[in-house]
Homo-oligomer: A and B are copies of this chain.
Amino acid sequence: MKLEKCVTIDNVNRNLLNIRYAVRGPIVDRALQIERELAKGASKPFNRVVRANIGDCHALGQKPITFIRQVLALVSCPQLMNSPDLPADVKDRATEILQDCTQGSVGAYSPSAGLMIVRRHIVEYLEARDGVSASLEDIYLGSGASDLIKSVLTLFSGVVDGKPPAVMIPIPQYPLFSGTLAELGINQANYYLDEEDNWALQVEELERSYQEASEHSRVVALVVINPGNPTGQVLSRQNIEEIIIFAHKHNLFILADEVYQENIISKPFYSFKKVMHELGAPYSDMELASFVTCSKGWAAECGLRGAFLELTRLSPPVRSVFAASRGVMQCPTVLGQCVLDCIVRPPRRGETSFAQWREEREKIARLLAERASTAYSTFNDIPGYSCNPIEGSMFAFPQVEIPALAQEEAADLDMSPDEFYCLRLLEETGVCVVPGTGFGQRPGTFHFRTTILHSREEFQHMMESITRFHNNFLNRFS
């Protein structure tokens, strides 16, 4: 007798069926499969897979920041407090953190919003960044920015006055947003970034998107990703002002995904908070959610899951609702909180670890700038490719012309042209990038996202592989 399943594809939560997450999607699955085939001795035109699908610096060989790892070791295992291998300021920091943990153990729950000391250091960090006061009560730590973004978006879920909610997101976007909105049953109101104007947000396009979505939805919030993911632009101060004024006009809640704010290559970063403040009333009174994570920036500790949210100017009852919803999940990982503490309060001049920290950090910044510049020039040198300057983040998102013949073959295989292109790239060179379809793009344009974090040799190998592949591809399909 075959048992009827309780959960079937017909009765499972409909919202989950719409989740797509290309960064870990079918092309990546195929890459993992190819790695297994290679390990078993399969013969391929390449000897290794180059993973360029995910912004995971350590996976691409970046070494951890020594200070962070030493603090982690010590808060985990205070019996090492006398170890001669650990510098004085590491011991001081670990002691300071442990004093804020109940009974001095990172194994005790922290407050739901995070350890007091980490939040205090975050406040200092934000005040130094913006020249604007920040409040302990507005800071919430989480297990990754994804966790916190989902919590904030959850506030907007639910039909009001017969209208479903909608949140405006950029296209291209980071698919955490589309995936989470799908899960929460919130409509996605797309606005296109202007590729011709270095991926700027044009108010006219924001307005179009808002009006279109308003016909059937209650548009409640606007997501901005700055520095851009996958697009790598850093918004100008003027553009940020325009966005704020637009959001204010329509009473939209701004979610500023600013997780790449420490991955700045060639243009100053302005936080939404700072610009709102400097615009003055009424803009300086607007609600705002801004996200920072230890997975990005120079630390790039993706696996350690530390992040924070600054959630400003919420009405007090809504703040209580938010805090209660966070409280049910107990607290974010205390060790992830410790990583954040080291990031927002790194070693200072005069402290034992300062020189090493500065050297490590500068090396990471140098490497990122080099790769950005190489990627930009290489991609613009390939016929049929165009790529905007990479001003921040860890990605390039070049546009690729795909010949009509290749588009037809893709259609025959029930794939989009860019998926077809990326799959061929993988099969022929071992280079694994994510098709533009996974992020969204203007109809008729094709892109892919690649990380630019590899070692010099690997990066050069990747660039050469892509160039060679593209020439062969054009020969075959033109």
Residues of A near any B CB (own CB < 8 A): 1, 3-17, 19-21, 24, 54, 56-61, 64, 66, 69-70, 72-74, 76-77, 79-80, 83, 85, 101-103, 105-110, 112, 143-144, 146-147, 150, 154-158, 160, 175-176, 179-180, 183, 220-221, 251-253, 281-282, 285-287, 295, 299-305, 313-315, 317-318, 321-322, 324-325, 327-336
Contact = CB atoms under 8 A, between A and B. Distances in A.
A147 B318 CA distance: 23
Centre residue among A112, A253, A336 by max chain B CB count within 10 A: A336
Contacts of A12: 155, 318, 321
A448 to B, nearest CB: 20
Given A64-B107, A80-B80, A157-B13, A318 B253 contact: no
Given A143-B305, A285-B3, A21 B324 contact: yes
A308 B303 CA distance: 17
13 contacts: A7-B315, A8-B315, A8-B318, A12-B321, A17-B321, A20-B324, A56-B102, A64-B105, A73-B80, A143-B143, A144-B329, A180-B328, A304-B335
Contact of A331 (B301, B303, B318): B303
Contacts of A252: 6
Given A9-B318, A58-B102, 17 more contacts: A5-B287, A8-B318, A10-B160, A11-B220, A13-B154, A16-B154, A16-B321, A19-B328, A21-B328, A72-B76, A73-B74, A80-B83, A83-B83, A107-B302, A143-B147, A295-B330, A304-B335
A60 to B, nearest CB: 7
Centre residue among A180, A183, A329 by max chain B CB count within 10 A: A329
A176 B302 CA distance: 27
A109 B286 contact: no
A56 B109 contact: yes
A305 B155 CA distance: 24
A76 B69 contact: yes
